[in-house]
Chains A and B, each alone.
Chain A
Amino acid sequence: MTLLGERDPGQHGLPPSDHDDGGPADPRRDAGRAGRRNVIAEIAERRRADIREEMAGLTLDDHLALAAATLPPRPVVDRLAAPGLHLIAEIKRSSPSAGRIAGADDDIVARARAYEAGGATAISVLCEPHWFGGSVDDLRAVRAAVSIPVLAKEFVVEAIQLPHLRAAGADLVLLLAVLHPARELAALVDRALEIGLEPLVEAHDEREVNRAIATNARLIGLNNRDLRTLEVDTDRATRLRALVPDDRLVVAESGVRDPATVAAWRAIGFDAGLVGEALVRAADPAAAARAFVSAGRLPRDPANAATVPFVKICGVTDAEGILAAVRAGADAIGLNLVAGTPRELELGEAVALARVARSLSAAPPRLVAITADAGRERIAAIVTALDPDVVQFSGDETAEDLVAAGRPAWKAIRVRATDEPAGIVERARAFLSAGAERILLDAAGGVHPGGTGTRVDPTLAAAVAREVPVVLAGGLTPANAAEALRSIPAVGVDSASGVERPRVAGQRPTKDPLLVSVFAKRARAARVDRPNLAVRPTPVHPGLLEADQTGRWGTERQFGGRYVPETLMAALEQLETAYGAIRHDPVFWSELRELLSTYAGRPTPLYRADRLAYETLERSVALDPTARLPHRLRLYLKREDLAHTGAHKINNALGQALLTRRLGKSRVIAETGAGQHGVATATACALLGLPCVVFMGAVDIERQQPNVLRMQALGAEVRPVTSGTATLKDAVNDAMRDWVTNVETTHYVLGSAMGPHPYPTIVRDLQRRIGDEAAAQLADVEGRLPDLALACVGGGSNAIGLLDRFIGEASVRLAVAEAGGDGIATGRHAAAIAGGTPGILHGSRSMMLQDAEGQVLEAHSASAGLDYPGVGPQVAALAAAGRLQVEAATDDEAFEAMRWLSRTEGILPALESAHALAVLPRLLVTSGAAWADETIVLVGLSGRGDKDLASFGAWLAAAER
């Protein structure tokens, strides 16, 4: 640690290296090598000289005295530990990279107030005079004008600057890792913390990150700008984020183009964004700040909400811990009543803490009494005295013991690394079926139940969590919670020792409020904008949920694959690699979600269609007056018809258009049947400025004129396909031929969950939010899953999009309606599953219509969107495994259903979607098992019917004649 006067004033050099990391790269040397000026070195040297001058008459004691007399610092880490990304808005008059900044002569006090009004969490004030035109006076003025914390954006070269800045009112201070060797940096951090100045340690490469995280700093800044050259690399902070442990709060800096940058930072897991120039140049700083603040908020999206895990803070021992858990939004607080354990509470203490929790919030976390082999009498005493919401059993209790408590019971199962998953699953199922509400998986081995700090083997935990709902406990910390939740499909997390202050011998452990907040924040954000993670148990064959490495689905891996001409193999491998990189990339999914929400109208509504439900039951009774029908049918329509362009197809088209950009391709082709996918693709291409060619069978062009005109209006070229049957399958053939020819520049936006691997996965992933949203929306209004989920199926994108969410839910029956055309018996239909055989069509093996020699048969359906002789491999796999009931509706039945819905609910559905409604009366009558008295049915209303008006009108005229 160098203090003023301890170093030769003429030296001006960088401090000697004192660490294995070689210390800071000598900025002057680096820049000298590159033959360019080195800005940070120049600034640092000048700063040293200034400080020498400014401080000449003062001693360290003067400054410390000054600091002691300063108003207390405003808390900042707690605010940054709250959910989402927070804005640190900057005030600077000029900068070496931008020169004098327009608008910077404004009244900085007014500007600071505007930032605060716009929702900024903190304000950063440049204090450096020569390059940035700032001063400590600026800092003082801003601090006095606002009530939020202020960051001193200063070039700290000497420890003596710290008390000086604190005295000026700084709540935070910037420390640049580039300027200090490791030991010196660590000492600066400690010095700042001692005087209540929260250090933000900034790094811009891996070595600096390592130096930064070796300090006690709670805030780590990652700068996109290289301070030596001032060059900005907008991906730098993103790349470095992975190197910072999750128990630090992380701030991204520089390179903000617009609020989308901030949204991406939030998605990656930054806690704050420091925005400078983009704000300083804004004419209306409050409005500009508001746009950034809004972009940093956790998205409100039902599909995301459903992935948020349950969070329990266990072994709370004092009121401060209770307050921390309540503030962090924990779902449950564990009060340990197990004798002889470190966090043991006397029953009276527990009662007092429960009172605190209940006084703090109208809806406090659930209070859990932790017991272990306590015996029924003791449990009864606990229940009487404490009135817990839950009793947790962490010993060797039996299922009967749980029931006897008379309270919701949670069972902790202690797992040894040598345990077999099957045995644990069996035990968990036994407890669940005896009435246990939750199962916790805890690591065995410690002398005491719980709080051992040991993690359950992740592979074992994942295997168990795949089968039964479990809350992970044992060894979880803010640093590892998110990673655990991404690799293990647990429904919740529990932490005790991982969120505590360092242990003091002989004292009861206490919770660290910041760690509690960060733990909850990390756990809750872990799966946000990662829609393709497994987040709950899915106790079915994995082949029904995901393709294997070779793209095969099914319990025998008998469907799927990649049967294409060799010319396309390279493109498919490129697509597979590119998609592999984005499948779990929250930035991609965040960008897509934003587009789907602001542009495409998602989430689409879930509508309870009571009049249609009545009509449906009437028809069921007419079919079979003796059938055991539900007493009440609550029929929910997932309104994809209300999505932009009038069908679910937009979900996939927007996603693949973004993917096209990532692939670096400049042209898009697509096939279309009913025109819905063509319109959606033309729309997405118009939005992203991509040329688009849509292949459409000549027969379909004839019957879907309105959509042809729409595609043309959107600037797409509609290429008629006259080969073969001139319908959808031939459009796919021609699209593939075009792709074979233009594969180097073109991405083929396949419209359904079919085709060669990885298309069935990509399209399913892009459509799965239909079911994810619907499940969350249903949970909101009904508190449970549907009894039946039903969709129409052609290629399968709408069906799998709705149903995928429920495949692993044993209580949900799944059904699809194929297009029965003139009736399956007539041979004129499009029922690839009910009336087809396994074969290879358009790149994958699945169910299809073909003759004995493998010639593809013409499909027949009045509905152009279902008029296709194949179906995607995942749907075929579900049907083959008996997980999916397959029905067919004839053209007449579908038109009839189109009429019911139009006239009972005022919703004109696409003819495709009407197939699902048409089979529902039959499904209710013929289903094997009895229906619940109150039955909930979810139907995917995949699109709107405007495009079908001509054929519907003709049918109506004939029917009503």
Chain B
Amino acid sequence: MSVAEPPGGPSARTNTTTNGRRGTNETVGARRIRGAFSAARDAGRMALIPYVVAGYPDAATSLRIALAAIDAGADVLEIGLPYSDPLADGATLQRASQVALASGATLGASLRLIEEVAAARPGTPVVPMGYANQFLGGGDGADAARQLTSAGAAGVIVADLTPDEGGPFEAIARDVGLAVVYLVTPTTAPARRAAIAARSGGFLYCVSLVGVTGARSSLPPTVGRLVRDVTAVSPIPVGVGFGVSKPAHVRAIARAGAGGVIVASALVDALGPDGTDVARMERLVRDLAAATATPAKAGTRR
């Protein structure tokens, strides 16, 4: 089954009454995320979405890191929930996950972090990111959706959940007001990109490259074209991530017309080997934030 051709024929794709098929873009959480994107756009820039690993290097420090990232210019904050088998992640985030788990990170602790961040910086939507087994496991994900929402999360990113499998979880997320953010990648066929965009809540996560997460010294030359193509078919803002590590990357993505940019591994790298160099990470966030200004004509596009 593909998103572009769901069982039941082509009409099923646009069938808004089918369970899960109308996406989560009308939830409270999605509206909050879209609000953050449009506030940034109104200010003439892309939204900046830093990523922090819950419990890395430990619970207390990760809270400091999260707040520092927001204060340094985050419009939305992505919080990674440490996972034993993060198969979409490169070396940096794998290691951070392992360290966090080794220092006692649990789902409870991650939820507390979300709650504390949400309480301390209520204006910044928090979007946790994790893997299907953490949210769905053997069930339907109802517990996870409820817990995340009551902790204050606006949305959720599930690295190994596509709309093909996500329908039932979307229905549950809708009930609690949580946005389910989907990803498109360079290997996603054009028709499928539009179909995924139509199902994503809050924003559409555009993966810049074919590969796993991790800071890259340069982005693939095709990224501008990819971002333009994805943006053209997406009814909601497009955030671009994977590999983004420096202001030049951010500027290139802004030029291509993206609504936002996600930076993860580079920030974890900036925290240093023991994960405590918060000041250095904060400087990087500021530098990246300064690069988010959108070209004047692009600012009127959306």
* Interface set of A (CB-CB < 8 Å, partner B): 549-550, 561-571, 573, 723-724, 729-730, 732-733, 736-737, 740-744, 837-843, 845, 850, 853-856
17 contacts between A and B (CB under 8 A): A549-B1, A549-B7, A563-B161, A566-B196, A567-B187, A568-B187, A729-B85, A737-B90, A837-B137, A839-B133, A840-B137, A841-B85, A841-B133, A853-B106, A853-B134, A854-B107, A854-B131
Out of B84, B138, B160, B162, which one reaches A855, CB within 8 Å? B84
Asked if B137 and A850 make an inter-chain contact with CB atoms under 8 angstroms apart, the answer reads yes
Least Cβ distance of B76 to chain A in Å? 20
Known: A850-B137, A855-B101. A565 touches B94 (CB 8 A): no
- Comparing B57-65, B112-120, B178-186, the segment that makes contact with chain A is B178-186
Q: Mark B11-31, 1 if CB is under 8 A from A, else 0.
A: 000000000000000000000
Asked if B84 and A724 make an inter-chain contact with CB atoms under 8 angstroms apart, the answer reads yes
What's the Cα separation between A565 and B132 when bound, in Å?
A: 10
B10 at the interface (CB under 8 A from A): no
B164 at the interface (CB under 8 A from A): yes
Least Cβ distance of A693 to chain B in Å? 16
What's the Cα separation between A561 and B101 when bound, in Å?
A: 28
* A743 cross-chain contacts in B, Cβ below 8 A: 187, 210
Least Cβ distance of A580 to chain B in Å? 13
Asked if B98 and A565 make an inter-chain contact with CB atoms under 8 angstroms apart, the answer reads no
Asked if A565 and B183 make an inter-chain contact with CB atoms under 8 angstroms apart, the answer reads yes
Which residue of chain A has its CB nearest to the CB of B95? A723
Least Cβ distance of B132 to chain A in Å? 5
* A850 cross-chain contacts in B, Cβ below 8 A: 133, 137
Which residue of chain B has its CB nearest to the CB of A725? B84
Least Cβ distance of A569 to chain B in Å? 6
Asked if B188 and A838 make an inter-chain contact with CB atoms under 8 angstroms apart, the answer reads no
Least Cβ distance of A568 to chain B in Å? 8
Out of A729, A737, A841, A853, which one reaches B212, CB within 8 Å? A737
Top 10 nearest A-B pairs by Cβ distance?
A838-B138, A741-B211, A840-B133, A854-B134, A854-B133, A853-B107, A567-B185, A570-B187, A565-B88, A855-B84
* B137 cross-chain contacts in A, Cβ below 8 A: 837-840, 850, 854
What's the Cα separation between A568 and B186 when bound, in Å?
A: 10
B150 at the interface (CB under 8 A from A): no
Asked if A856 and B183 make an inter-chain contact with CB atoms under 8 angstroms apart, the answer reads no
Which residue of chain B has its CB nearest to the CB of A570? B187
Asked if B87 and A566 make an inter-chain contact with CB atoms under 8 angstroms apart, the answer reads no
What's the Cα separation between A222 and B81 when bound, in Å?
A: 63
Asked if A562 and B165 make an inter-chain contact with CB atoms under 8 angstroms apart, the answer reads yes
Least Cβ distance of B280 to chain A in Å? 25
Dominant secondary structure of chain A at its interface with chain B:
mixed
Out of B88, B131, B164, B186, which one reaches A550, CB within 8 Å? B164
Which residue of chain A has its CB nearest to the CB of B1? A550
Known: A563-B165, A740-B212, A850-B133. A845 touches B98 (CB 8 A): no
Asked if B138 and A567 make an inter-chain contact with CB atoms under 8 angstroms apart, the answer reads no
Q: Mark B206-218, 1 if CB is under 8 A from A, else 0.
A: 0100111000000
Interface centre among A565, A732, A741 (most CB of B within 10 A): A565
Asked if B160 and A843 make an inter-chain contact with CB atoms under 8 angstroms apart, the answer reads yes
* A550 cross-chain contacts in B, Cβ below 8 A: 1, 7, 164
Asked if B85 and A856 make an inter-chain contact with CB atoms under 8 angstroms apart, the answer reads yes
CB interface residues, B 188-230, toward A, < 8 Å: 188-189, 192, 196, 207, 210-212
B103 at the interface (CB under 8 A from A): no
B83 at the interface (CB under 8 A from A): yes
* A568 cross-chain contacts in B, Cβ below 8 A: 187
Which residue of chain A has its CB nearest to the CB of B89? A737
CB interface residues, B 254-298, toward A, < 8 Å: none
Least Cβ distance of A670 to chain B in Å? 16
Which residue of chain B has its CB nearest to the CB of A838? B138
* B106 cross-chain contacts in A, Cβ below 8 A: 853
Q: Mark B162-179, 1 if CB is under 8 A from A, else 0.
A: 101100000000000000
Asked if A566 and B212 make an inter-chain contact with CB atoms under 8 angstroms apart, the answer reads no
* B188 cross-chain contacts in A, Cβ below 8 A: 566, 569-570
* B161 cross-chain contacts in A, Cβ below 8 A: 563
What's the Cα separation between A561 and B138 when bound, in Å?
A: 12
Asked if A566 and B184 make an inter-chain contact with CB atoms under 8 angstroms apart, the answer reads yes
* A740 cross-chain contacts in B, Cβ below 8 A: 87-88, 210-212
> A565-B183, A855-B101 are known contacts; what are 19 more A-B pairs with Cβ within 8 Å?
A549-B7, A550-B1, A550-B164, A563-B165, A564-B160, A564-B162, A566-B184, A570-B187, A570-B188, A724-B84, A733-B86, A737-B87, A737-B89, A743-B210, A838-B139, A839-B137, A840-B131, A840-B132, A856-B85
Which residue of chain A has its CB nearest to the CB of B164? A562
* B252 cross-chain contacts in A, Cβ below 8 A: none
B233 at the interface (CB under 8 A from A): no
* A840 cross-chain contacts in B, Cβ below 8 A: 131-133, 136-137, 160
Which residue of chain A has its CB nearest to the CB of B158? A563
Which residue of chain B has its CB nearest to the CB of A741? B211
Interface centre among B83, B86, B87, B98 (most CB of A within 10 A): B87
Which residue of chain A has its CB nearest to the CB of B106? A853
What's the Cα separation between A562 and B188 when bound, in Å?
A: 15
CB interface residues, B 106-164, toward A, < 8 Å: 106-107, 131-139, 159-162, 164
What's the Cα separation between A869 and B299 when bound, in Å?
A: 50
Least Cβ distance of A666 to chain B in Å? 16
* A737 cross-chain contacts in B, Cβ below 8 A: 87-90, 212
Asked if A733 and B87 make an inter-chain contact with CB atoms under 8 angstroms apart, the answer reads yes
Interface centre among A562, A564, A571 (most CB of B within 10 A): A564
* A732 cross-chain contacts in B, Cβ below 8 A: 87
Least Cβ distance of A504 to chain B in Å? 52
What's the Cα separation between A729 and B187 when bound, in Å?
A: 25
What's the Cα separation between A859 and B137 when bound, in Å?
A: 18
